[in-house]
Chains A and B, each alone.
Chain A
Amino acid sequence: MARLKFLCDTDRCIECNACATSCKNEHEVPWGMVRRRVVTLNDGEPGEKSIAISCMHCTDAPCVAVCPVSTLYQTDIGVVLHDKDTCIGCGYCFYACPFGAPQFPRATLFGSRGTMDKCTYCAGGPEENGSEAEFRKYGRNRIAEGKLPICAEVCSTRALLAGDGDVVGEIYRERTVARGFGSGAWGWKTAYYPEQDS
Chain B
Amino acid sequence: MSEPVVVHGRDFVKYRIGGAIVAVLLALALVWQVYELFDGDARTIPEVRWGVTEYDGRTMGAQDEASGLLAAQSLAARTTFQAERYQTGPSPEAERPDYGVAPNTRMTTAPMDYGEELSEGWAALGGDSGAILHEPGRVVGLSSLPYPGAALFERPFGRDWRLGIADIATHLGALAILGMGFLLALVLAVRGRVPIAKGRDGRKVKRFGLIERSTHWLTSVSFIGLALTGIVIAFGKTLLMPFGEPFLGAAGWISTWGHMMFFPPFALGIVVMAVMWIRRNLPERLDLTWLRMGGGFFSDGGPNPPARKFNAGQKLIFWSAILGGALMVATGVTLMFPFVWADLGALSWAMLIHAVIGLLLISVFVAHIYIGTVGMQGAFWAMWGGDVDRNWAEEHHALWLRQVELEEGRTKP
Contacts and interface: CB of A to CB of B under 8 A. Distances in A.
A139 interface: no
A62 B257 CA distance: 25
Nearest to B256: A88
A186 B138 CA distance: 11
Given A112-B338, A184-B133, A164 B112 contact: no
B384 interface: no
B45 interface: yes
Interface stretch (B10-18, B156-164, B268-276, B368-376): B156-164
A112 B336 contact: yes
A92 interface: yes
A194 B75 CA distance: 25
A17 B337 CA distance: 29
Nearest to A89: B256
B182 to A, nearest CB: 25
Most chain A CB atoms below 10 A, which of B108, B118, B143, B255? B143
Given A32-B147, A60-B123, A65-B162, A75 B75 contact: no
Interface in B226-259: 232-237, 241, 245-246, 248-249, 252-253, 255-257, 259
Nearest to A163: B79
Contact of B132 (A61, A73, A173, A194): A173
Contact of B144 (A17, A90, A189): A17
A143 B87 CA distance: 25
Interface residues of A, number: 103
B123 A195 contact: yes
B109 interface: yes
Nearest to B129: A169
A107 interface: no
Interface in A57-104: 58-62, 64-70, 73-78, 81, 85-86, 88-92, 94-100, 104
Given A95-B348, A163-B79, A175-B84, A68 B236 contact: yes
B49 interface: yes
Contact of A173 (B131, B141, B337): B131
A96 B131 CA distance: 27
A125 to B, nearest CB: 10
A36 to B, nearest CB: 10
A192 interface: yes
Contacts of A111: 335-338
B161 A96 contact: yes
Secondary structure class of chain B's binding surface, majority of residues: helix
B411 interface: no
Contacts of B118: 1, 76
Contacts of A90: 233, 256
Contact of A146 (B45, B101, B337): B101
Contact of A129 (B88, B107, B131, B246): B107
B136 A198 contact: yes
Contacts of A174: 83-84, 87
Contact of B75 (A81, A89, A163): A163
A103 B249 CA distance: 19
Nearest to B88: A171
Interface in B58-89: 60, 68-69, 71-76, 78-84, 87-88
B155 interface: yes
Most chain B CB atoms below 10 A, which of A51, A69, A70? A69
Given A111-B335, A174-B84, 13 more contacts: A41-B139, A42-B141, A65-B162, A66-B161, A69-B249, A70-B237, A74-B48, A95-B351, A104-B338, A110-B259, A112-B338, A129-B60, A188-B129
Interface of A: 1-4, 15, 17, 20, 32-34, 37-43, 51, 53, 58-62, 64-70, 73-78, 81, 85-86, 88-92, 94-100, 104, 109-113, 126, 128-130, 143-148, 152-153, 158, 161-176, 178, 182-190, 192-196, 198
